Structure 1
Amino acid sequence: MWISKQLVFLGEIERKFPYEGNHTIGQIIKNGIAVNDSMEDDTALAYKSSQGLVIITGCSHSGICNIVEQAKEICQDDRVLSIIGGLHLRKPSIEQLNGTITYLRQTNVRKLYACHCTDQPSRIALAQLGNLCETTVGLTLEYP
């Protein structure tokens, strides 16, 4: 759903990468029965700047690679200027962490602002990309 000419709510994120977005978190009630919750309703925002996409996430339960792919498809732009938010990399499997790093490197993300849901070992691993930026209270970012 387009909120403005440049800002889009991505809706339910399609799971394309086998190494992410396939875990469950608690349970939900469906038709009166408790079932594992895989956060199918996880979503994010994408801002279309003149220099590329700015992807704004919450916790990225569906997987940051899945979110980026959906943003690129909806916005019809392969340039990713920034990713800001939680990357859901709290004690990830080696496969998920390596897959995420490989994907982000291939996508050529210019700035990565990893917030909550990204543990310190994952941040250290992400730092090898050379684009990990500090994210602190009071941070202000502006995009054209």
Structure 2
Amino acid sequence: MATAISVDRVEVHVLVDNVTDSLSTVPSHVENEWSYLWRHGMRKLSGRCICCAAHGLSCLITASRGTSTHTVLFDTGPEEETFERNVSRLGIDLGIVEGIVLSHGHWDHAGGMLRALDLIRERNGEREVPFYAHPGMYATRAMKQPDGSMRLMEDIPSVEALTAHGAKVINTTEPQSLSGEMFYVSGEIPRVTPFEHGFPGQYRQTDDGGWEPDPLLMDERWVAANVKDKGLIVFTACSHAGVVNVLKHAQDSFPDVPLHAVIGGFHLSGRNEKIIPETVEGMRAFDLKTIAAAHCTGWRAIMALTQAFGEPVIAPSAVGKRYTF
């Protein structure tokens, strides 16, 4: 049975996100990009030193227990140039990455994957990198337009391409424990709320070349770490399942552990803006201490969350930001 042992500390470094924001004040457990860069040797503020924002998400997550430390990479953003630039400018040593978790099969989370594998293996002695995925992630997807045409999305890298770049691909629908049980990757997320309907308008290509509706994205998973005296830190890259469904599933998976924080995209933009009120109300039940909205959440939802929960609970993500729990 997959589980997650209690750890002493979790550090999260945002490598890719939609926004950059080093000017806003932050809670004591959060550090902005520029502050981090000054501490790590930047001597002159310049465009040649700072990170690049892009539509996507990537988080480097490190958990520590006693003298043992483990690191996983959660997604890689939309394309390799942004990922590599930000990793370089933040001075990240990717040789410490012991595994990669892909949250779901969308280009804006997997576009930098092959380059990420190359960079990790350049620093780890060319060892294989475990790559945790769901078998449904590799389908060709598209958004149906009002005129009936399909707006294609770029496929994520194939198993063959991932393997060629040094990944040890582990495809399963079941939950898993990683890195000495310091991290937990969920299985498929049950859809139980009446208002979270997935990603309206998305289709997937069938084996015969046709198209079928695919709003639920059942390949999506969340990652968690259990921090001693705090509780569960839940990472959700896009919440196509609905962030309330994600949090309910996390709570059900760890009924004896409180939920402490959620980090990631909540996909409350575009067509999903209409469910912002129900989502905000649904999140009240979890008594979260940190809500780090990222990527696809949308400014209207961040405003509504801030009005409902206030600071320091609401600590929106940005590229280069670092959270410590």
Q: TM-score, with normalisation over the residues of structure 2?
A: 0.41
SS of aligned partner of 1:141: strand
Judged with a 3 Å threshold, the aligned counterparts in structure 2 of structure 1 residues 126 and 116 are, in CA distance, closer, same or farther, namely same
> Which stretches in structure 1 are left out of the alignment for 5+ residues?
none
Aligned AA for 2:222? A
Aligned AA for 1:35? E
Question: Aligned to 2:184, which of 1, 4, 8?
Answer: 8
**Greater Cα shift, 13-22 or 27-36:** 27-36
Residue 99 of structure 1, CA deviation: 1.6
Aligned to 1:26: 202
Aligned to 2:286: 107
Q: Does structure 2 retain, via aligned residues, the 8 Å contact 1:89–1:118?
A: yes
**Greater Cα shift, 76-85 or 26-35:** 26-35
Judged with a 3 Å threshold, the aligned counterparts in structure 2 of structure 1 residues 27 and 140 are, in CA distance, closer, same or farther, namely same
Residue 37 of structure 1, CA deviation: 1.3
Aligned AA for 2:177? W
Residue 8 of structure 1, CA deviation: 0.7
RMSD of the TM alignment (CA)? 1.7
**Greater Cα shift, 53-62 or 19-28:** 19-28
SS of aligned partner of 1:98: helix
Q: Which runs of 4+ in 1 moved over 4 A?
A: none
Q: Could you tell me how far apart the structure 2 residues matched to 1:19 and 1:31 are?
A: 31
Residue 15 of structure 1, CA deviation: 0.3
Aligned to 1:42: 220
Residue 48 of structure 1, CA deviation: 1.2
**Greater Cα shift, 110-119 or 72-81:** 72-81
Residue 31 of structure 1, CA deviation: 4.6
Aligned to 2:264: 85
Q: Which has the larger radius of gyration?
A: 2
Q: Does structure 1 retain, via aligned residues, the 8 Å contact 2:189–2:246?
A: yes
* Percent identity for Structure 1 against Structure 2: 25
Aligned to 1:135: 317
Aligned AA for 1:126? L
SS of aligned partner of 2:301: helix
1:68 counterpart = 2:247: yes
Q: Does structure 2 retain, via aligned residues, the 8 Å contact 1:57–1:86?
A: yes
Task: Give per-residue Cα distances to partners, 1:73-101, cap 9 Å, x unaligned.
Answer: 1123451111100001103244x212211
SS of aligned partner of 2:276: helix
Q: Does structure 1 retain, via aligned residues, the 8 Å contact 2:273–2:301?
A: no
Residue 27 of structure 1, CA deviation: 1.6
Judged with a 3 Å threshold, the aligned counterparts in structure 2 of structure 1 residues 11 and 23 are, in CA distance, closer, same or farther, namely same
Q: Does structure 2 retain, via aligned residues, the 8 Å contact 1:53–1:77?
A: no
Judged with a 3 Å threshold, the aligned counterparts in structure 2 of structure 1 residues 41 and 21 are, in CA distance, closer, same or farther, namely farther
Q: Could you tell me how far apart the structure 2 residues matched to 1:9 and 1:42 are?
A: 10
Q: Does structure 2 retain, via aligned residues, the 8 Å contact 1:7–1:46?
A: yes
Judged with a 3 Å threshold, the aligned counterparts in structure 2 of structure 1 residues 78 and 65 are, in CA distance, closer, same or farther, namely farther
Q: Does structure 2 retain, via aligned residues, the 8 Å contact 1:56–1:85?
A: yes
Residue 25 of structure 1, CA deviation: 4.5
